[in-house]
Amino acid sequence: MKRILHIVFAAVALTALQPVARAQSENFLEALRLYYSNDVRAAYNQFKKVVADEPGNDAAYYYISTMLRDSTAAAGQLQKAVELDPDNYWYNYSLAENYLAQGRSEEAAEILEKLVAEHPGKTSVYSELIGAYTACGQYDKALEAVDKLEGKVGACDPLATIRTDILLSQNKPQQAYDYMLGYYNQSHSPRAACFLAQYNAARFNNEEALRFYNEALEANPFDTEARYGKAHVHRSMGQYDLYFENINPFLANPDILPRAKTEYMAEVLGQQQFVYTFAPQVDTMMLSMYASAPADSSVCSLTSTYLYQRGRVDEALLLAKLNADNYPESYTLNFTYPLMLYYSGDFAGVTSSATVALQRFPANIDLLQLRASSFWQMGEIDSAIEDYIACEAVAAKGSETQKTCYSALGDLYHTKGEAKTAFKYYDKALKLDPGYVPVLNNYAYYISERYPTPVKKVPKDLRKALQMSRTTIEKEPDNATYLDTYAWILHLIGQDLEAKAHFKHAMIHGGKESGVILRHYATVLKALGENDLAEVYSGQASRLGE
C-alpha cells in the first residue's frame, strides 16, 4: 500500500484533507497547482497526462473523478483509484457517496460497512451508512446503525428524527410516536414537540396538537415550524383570527427561504373565496412576506402581481420596475414590467421601458411586438411600422409571428393611406396562411372602401373581396364584424336582400354595439325601401357617436 501525504495549500481552505502520494512527479504537482487554482480545464488535462504516463498513480484518478460531472464516469475513475489502493479511506468514502448519488445504495452500503469496521470513530460514515440502508429498504440494519451512532454521540434531534422516519417507512406510526414522545419527555426538544404536534394534527387531535405546538413555542418563541403548524391547526378549526396571528410571523421571518413563502402564498391566492372573504388579512400576509425579502425576485413578482389584481396599479408597477432594475439579466422580469404597463394603458411607459429592455435583450421578438403595439396605440404609425419590420426580420420563416407582423404592417400602411403596400403585406400573410381570417376580413373591407356606392358591373377586385369575406363567415359565422364586411360587399354588388339577412344575424351577435355596423344596416334597409326601420338604426348609430 502506498503511503499517503495530506497536503494543505495555504491559499486554499479545505473542509477535509485529501490524499496525495509521496514523491510525486513534476507533472502531478503542476496538475495539483492548477487544481487548487480553480483552473479546472487545465488541471483536468494535466491529470490526464499524468495517468497516461503513470497509470499506477491512484491519486491522479481520484482528482480526475472530482472534476467530472457525469457520476458514472467519476465512479470509473474512483474504482481505478480503489483498485490501486484498496485501503485508502478517501477513495472508498468518495466511491460510496458516488454510488449513493447514483441510487446504487446496496453497493454503497457494502463499502460503508467496510469503512465502519476499519474506522469506528468516524461518525460521518455511520450517517452515510444509515442513508444507504434506508435507500435500499434495509430498515432493521438502518435502526441498528442508529443505535450504534447514538451510543457514540448520544441522543439528539437529528438521530431522533432519522429513527422516526425509518419507523414511519416501516409503516409503524404508533411506534414512531411512542419513541418520539419518550425522547421529548427527556429532552423537551421543540423539534420533537413539532413532530408530536404534526402527528396529532394529522389525526384531527387538534387540542393535543396545539398543546405540543405551544410547548415548542414556549421553549423557542421563534420556532417557525411550530408557528406555521399552529396557524394551520387554528385554520382547520375555523379560528381564522388565530390563524392570521400565527401565519404572519412565519411570512415575516427573513430566515425562511423566500421560495417557501412564495409557494405558500401562491397556494393561498389560488383559493379565491378565501382571498375574497379575508381580503384585508391577505393584504397583510402579502406585505409581511414582501417586507421579509424585498430584494428577492420571486417575492417581488408575486407581490406586484397581487397588488395589480387588487387594483393597486401604481404600487404594483413600482415593484415591477424595481424588480426589473434589480435583475437586469432576467428577461422575464424585464418583459413583465412593460407588459404590466401595457395592460394598465400607459403606452408611453411601455415604449420607454421596452426600449431599455431591448438594450439588454436586443432584437427580442416579444419586446419588439409589445413596443410596436404601444406605438400603434399612441398613433405613432411610422415607429410601429419600424418595429414590426424589425420583428419580422428576426422571426422564424413561416412562423405565427411572421404572419402576425405581415398582418399588422398591412393595417398600419392602410392607416397611412398606402393601400398598395398594405395589400402587399396582406398577400404575404395569406401566402403563409390562406385561411387567416383577420387578414381576409380587413383585406376585403379595405377593397370595398374603393367603392362608395353600389356598382352596376362587379369588378375583379370586389369579387376577390367577396370571396375572402365569405371565407371569414364560413369559419366564424357569428362574428358581427365579419358579417358586416360580407353584408356590405353584398350591398355594393346589388344583393341587398341577402345583405339584410346577414345584418340581422349580426344584430343578434353584438352588431348593435357598433355604430359602423348599424349605419351600414340602415343604408341597406333604405335601399330596400324600409325607411322607417332605417331611421331607427341610423338613430342608434348616431347615439353611439359613430
Give dist(CA 432, CA 405) in Å, integer. 12
The 8-class DSSP code of residue 61 comes to H
Domain assignment present for residue 381? The answer is: no
- Domain identity same for 131 and 87: no
Out of 120, 147, 168, pick the residue that ends a domain. 168
Average pLDDT value for the chain: 92
Give the residue from 81, 102, 123 where a domain finishes.
102
The percent of residues above 90 in pLDDT, for the chain, comes to: 92
Q: Which of 97, 83, 161, 106 is nearest to 125 (CA)?
A: 97
124 falls within a domain: yes
* pLDDT grade for 24, boundaries at 50, 70 and 90: confident
Contact 484, 501 (CB under 8 A): no
Whether the per-residue pLDDT at 391 is higher than 90: the answer is yes
Domain final residue pick, 84, 102, 120? 102
Phi-psi region of 510 (alpha: psi -120 to 50; beta: other; left: phi over 0): left
Q: Is residue 352 part of a domain?
A: no
Give the type of residue at 478.
Answer: D
| Domain around 44 | 1-102
Q: What is the pLDDT of residues 28-62, one digit of tens each?
A: 999 999 999 999 999 999 999 999 999 999 999 99
Task: State the SS3 of 356-399.
Answer: HHHHHCCCCHHHHHHHHHHHHHCCCHHHHHHHHHHHHHHCCCCC
Predicted structure pTM score: 0.72
B/e letters for 20-58, b = 16+ CB within 10 Å, e = fewer, are bbeebeebbebbbebbeeeeeeebbebbeebbeebeebb
Q: How many domains does the chain have?
A: 3
The answer as to whether 216 is a domain residue is no
Banded pLDDT at 19 (limits 50, 70, 90): low
**Kind and range of the H or E element at 5?**
strand 4-6
Strand partners, 260: none
Tell whether 457 and 503 lie within a shared domain. Answer: yes
Statement to judge: residues 92 and 117 lie in one domain: no
**Structural domain contains residue 351:** no
CA distance 106 to 104: 6
- State the pLDDT at residue 123: 86
Q: What is the mean pLDDT of residues 407-436?
A: 97
Please tell me whether residues 96 and 118 are part of one structural domain: no
Q: What tens digit of pLDDT does each residue of 439-458 get?
A: 999 999 999 999 999 999 99
Average pLDDT over residues 340-354: 97
What's phi and psi for 10, nearest 5 deg?
-60, -30
Classify residue 287: in a domain, yes or no: no
Give the Cβ contact number of residue 147 at 10 Å: 11
What's the average model confidence in pLDDT over 501-511?
Answer: 95
The answer on 130 and 78 residing in a single domain is no
Collapsing DSSP to helix, strand or coil, 141 comes out as helix
C-alpha cell at 17: 484533507
- The pLDDT of residue 122 is 86
> Distances from the Cα of 417 to the Cαs of 257, 405, 481, 530, in angstroms?
58, 18, 22, 35
Q: What is the CATH number of the domain that holds 4?
A: 1.25.40.10
Q: Is the residue at 121 inside a domain?
A: yes
